[in-house]
Amino acid sequence: MKKKIYLLLALLLILFLGGYYYITYPAVNIHEEQFWGVALFVCILCGAICAVRQLSDKLKRHHNIHIKELKSLPFLAKTFWILAVLVVLVFLAGEMAGSDFFRAKSYASLLKVKEYEFSKDMQESSEVTDIALMDTDSARIFGNRKIGSLSNVVSQYEVEDDYTQIAIDKVPMKVSSLKYASFFKWFNNRKKGVPGYVKVNPVTSEAEYVALKQGMKYVPSAYLNDNLQRHVQLKYPTKIISGYHFEVDDAGDPYYVCPTVTARIGLFGGMDVEGAILCDPVDGACQYYPVEEIPSWVDSVYSGDLLTRKYDWYGTLSDGFWNSKIGQTGCRVTTDDYGYKIIGDDVWVYTGVTSVNGDQSNIGFILVNQRTSEAKYYSVSGAEEHSAMASAEGEVQEKGYRASFPSLINVGGVPTYIMVLKDAAGLVKMYAMVNVEQYNMVATANSQTAVFEKYKNMLSSSGKITEEPEEAVTGEAQITVEDIQYIQTEDGTVVYLKSSDGAVYKQPFQENEQLIKISVGDVLQIVYEESESGIYPLNSFEILPTPHKEKE
The pLDDT of residue 2 is 61
**pLDDT at 101 > cutoff 70:** yes
Shared domain for 457 and 479, answered yes or no, is no
pLDDT band at 470 (very low <50, low <70, confident <90, very high): low
Amino acid at site 18: G
Domain count, the chain: 4
Residue 479 is part of a domain; what is its CATH number?
2.40.50.140
Q: Which contiguous run of DSSP H or E holds residue 369?
A: strand 364-369
Shared domain for 430 and 506, answered yes or no, is no
For residue 425, being part of any structural domain is answered with: yes
The pLDDT of residue 461 is 84
Query: What percent of the chain has a predicted confidence (pLDDT) above 90?
Result: 59
**pLDDT at 552 > cutoff 50:** no
Shared domain for 182 and 257, answered yes or no, is yes
Shared domain for 157 and 272, answered yes or no, is yes
Q: Which contiguous run of DSSP H or E holds residue 142?
A: helix 136-148
Dist CA 74 CA 83 (whole Å): 15
pLDDT band at 57 (very low <50, low <70, confident <90, very high): low
For residue 433, being part of any structural domain is answered with: yes
**pLDDT at 292 > cutoff 90:** yes
Q: What is the pLDDT of residues 77-90, one digit of tens each?
A: 889 989 999 999 99
Q: Which residues contact 55 (CB under 8 A, 6 or more apart)?
A: 48, 65, 73
Shared domain for 198 and 268, answered yes or no, is yes
Q: What is the pLDDT of residues 434-464, one digit of tens each?
A: 999 888 899 999 888 889 989 998 998 887 7
List helix spans (H) across 292-442.
Answer: 304-317, 321-325, 385-395
Q: What is the pLDDT of residues 382-414, one digit of tens each?
A: 988 999 999 999 999 999 999 999 988 999 889
Shared domain for 74 and 164, answered yes or no, is no
Could you tell me the residue range of the domain that residue 266 belongs to?
136-301
For residue 310, being part of any structural domain is answered with: no
Shared domain for 244 and 283, answered yes or no, is yes
Q: What is the pLDDT of residues 103-136, one digit of tens each?
A: 999 999 999 999 999 988 888 887 777 787 888 8
Shared domain for 150 and 193, answered yes or no, is yes
Amino acid at site 267: L
More confident position, 267 or 7: 267
For residue 411, being part of any structural domain is answered with: yes
For residue 220, being part of any structural domain is answered with: yes
Shared domain for 446 and 519, answered yes or no, is no
Q: What is the DSSP string of 305-328?
A: HHHHHHHHHHHHHTT-HHHHHTT-
Shared domain for 236 and 290, answered yes or no, is yes
Q: What is the pLDDT of residues 163-219, one digit of tens each?
A: 999 998 888 899 999 999 999 999 999 999 999 999 998 887 788 999 999 999 999
Shared domain for 411 and 521, answered yes or no, is no
Q: Domain boundary at 47, 79, 97, which?
A: 97
Phi then psi dihedrals of residue 303, to 5 deg: -70, 155
CB 361 within 8 A of CB 415: no
**pLDDT at 60 > cutoff 60:** no
Dist CA 321 CA 449 (whole Å): 49
The pLDDT of residue 360 is 73
The pLDDT of residue 446 is 87
Q: Is 351 exposed, middle or buried (0-12, 13-18, 19+ CB in 10 A)?
A: buried
For residue 311, being part of any structural domain is answered with: no
Q: Which contiguous run of DSSP H or E holds residue 159?
A: strand 157-159
Mean pLDDT (whole number) for 476-499: 87
Coil, strand or helix at 28? coil
pLDDT band at 551 (very low <50, low <70, confident <90, very high): very low
**pLDDT at 361 > cutoff 70:** yes
Dist CA 218 CA 179 (whole Å): 11
Which CA distances in Å does 283 have to 216, 230, 299?
8, 15, 22
**pLDDT at 95 > cutoff 90:** yes
Dist CA 509 CA 490 (whole Å): 13
The pLDDT of residue 50 is 79
Shared domain for 399 and 538, answered yes or no, is no
Q: Domain boundary at 67, 97, 127, which?
A: 97
Dist CA 404 CA 406 (whole Å): 6
For residue 154, being part of any structural domain is answered with: yes
**pLDDT at 61 > cutoff 70:** no
The pLDDT of residue 348 is 94
Q: Domain boundary at 239, 271, 301, which?
A: 301
For residue 322, being part of any structural domain is answered with: no
pLDDT band at 534 (very low <50, low <70, confident <90, very high): confident
The pLDDT of residue 343 is 87
- Mean pLDDT of the chain, nearest integer: 88
